[in-house]
Amino acid sequence: MPQLAAPSDLDYLDEKILLHPENRKFPPFDLVRLLDTVFTPTQNCRVCVLVDFDEPAELIKNFEFLNRDGFPIQKKAHQHFYQGLKNGAMAKLGMTGGELFAYRCTYGSNLDLADDVWNTQGEHLSLDRDIYPNYDLILCISTFSATAPLTAKCKQYGFRGATLHGLNDIILNSGLAVDYHQVSADAERLRLAVTQADAIEIDFALEDGRVLTAWLGLDGQEAQKSHGLCNGTTPDIANLPAGEVYFVPADARGQFPMKYEDGTLGVLEVVDRCIVHSTLIQGNQATIDAHNARLLDDPMTGTLGELGLGTQVLPVSGADIQDEKVLGTCHLATGRDDHLGGDILPEMFKRHENSTHDDILFAPHKTPNFNIRQVRMKRGPQTEILIENFRPARYLMEALLAGR
């Protein structure tokens, strides 16, 4: 990609930083700055922090988890958010509360939360009765994403909040240290660049020379953005780190590669917006067989519910919550999409544990066995290249620079 001249406030779009985002400089993490930016106004808001455990009643009582090995996410939640609130952030932002609660781990992305929750005195409480109606801001720092269930609950009970699953040091010092006014502005520029698209095509180049193409029909819908701002008083949930533009596919067909958790590679066949079959490229045939059995048993698990494009220049964190927000990457997601304005609801699945929203991220560190050769947008007579070889194409770069 040719070098683009960028104003000083867009230094992160420099060619060298685009190639090596780990070299981008960030200010230190500042809880007050983050909450003030994301949640203005904060004055008179009552805030709490939610974490998850396998055995929440035992581990949250008297902060027992701090005495045990493990629990890195929950310990960072305690250090940087719970203690940060108590040690001055609430006072500076005019907030009250600051309590820490624990719920039982869901073991799946965006599965509904059980109602049981415990406080640090070990008391058994109810999310619906004791938490959701009584807090204005809820910060959920968990193992698995709770964005979908909390989005539904915030509309019911009227709170705002943020989900920050998979929190780690890299995320704290990069994705949560950025200026979210800038993130929001960049996301809006890219949203306008792709909104009302009729379709997006993605070409995947495999190591064996094959090129697979996935076609996503979008029917001219308005693109949406995850931009990190949850301002005002309207009930809403910010997914942090933020920074993506996304669609809910109306249709899909073709093929795309999949890298499973055990490293197995497969080719997924898509018909009528649904993954219908997986074929082994390399790895464990049993992994492919298990996926095919799941698709046969509950076809809703293969429904494509999201197409997302990253909008930020961030270092790889090892957690998809940040890594899917990186400019030049894209992701698909299967399963429920009601929190994105889609029509796939939890009750449509055969079993509760199947009603997840699972992102499939395509990024150099995540899927080194295949390349995104090209992502194209079709909008009426217009065809634009959005991404080539995991890098933003000129059309997206010019959109970011528009109006500067």
Q: 356-384 pLDDT, tens per residue?
A: 989 999 999 999 999 999 999 999 999 99
> What is residue 16's predicted lDDT score, i.e. its pLDDT?
82
227 exposure class (CB count in 10 Å sphere: 0-12, 13-18, 19+): buried
Which residues, at least 6 apart from 371, have a Cβ–Cβ distance to it below 8 Å?
Answer: 204, 205, 389, 390
Residues 366, 393: contact at Cβ < 8 Å?
no
Residues 248, 340: contact at Cβ < 8 Å?
yes
Which residues, at least 6 apart from 4, have a Cβ–Cβ distance to it below 8 Å?
Answer: 13, 15, 394, 397, 398, 401
Residue with structure tokens 């709170």?
159
Residue 67: pLDDT over 80:
yes
> What is residue 6's predicted lDDT score, i.e. its pLDDT?
35
How far is Cα 289 from Cα 131, in angstroms, rounded to an integer?
A: 42
How far is Cα 338 from Cα 360, in angstroms, rounded to an integer?
A: 18
Question: What is the arithmetic mean of pLDDT over 120-128?
Answer: 98
Q: For the whole model, what pTM was predicted?
A: 0.93
- The CATH 3.40.50 portion of the chain extends over 31-172
How far is Cα 346 from Cα 328, in angstroms, rounded to an integer?
A: 31
Percent of the chain with pLDDT over 90: 88
Which residues on adjacent β-strands are paired with residue 126? 116
Question: What is the arithmetic mean of pLDDT over 246-253?
Answer: 97
**CA atoms within a 13 Å half-sphere pointing along the CA-CB vector of 375:** 29
How far is Cα 208 from Cα 110, in angstroms, rounded to an integer?
A: 35
> What is residue 10's predicted lDDT score, i.e. its pLDDT?
65
> What is residue 43's predicted lDDT score, i.e. its pLDDT?
96
CATH architecture, range 31-172:
3-Layer(aba) Sandwich (3.40)
> What is residue 8's predicted lDDT score, i.e. its pLDDT?
43
Residue with structure tokens 């049993």?
286
Candidate from 22-26, 106-110, 128-132, 297-301 with smallest mean pLDDT: 22-26
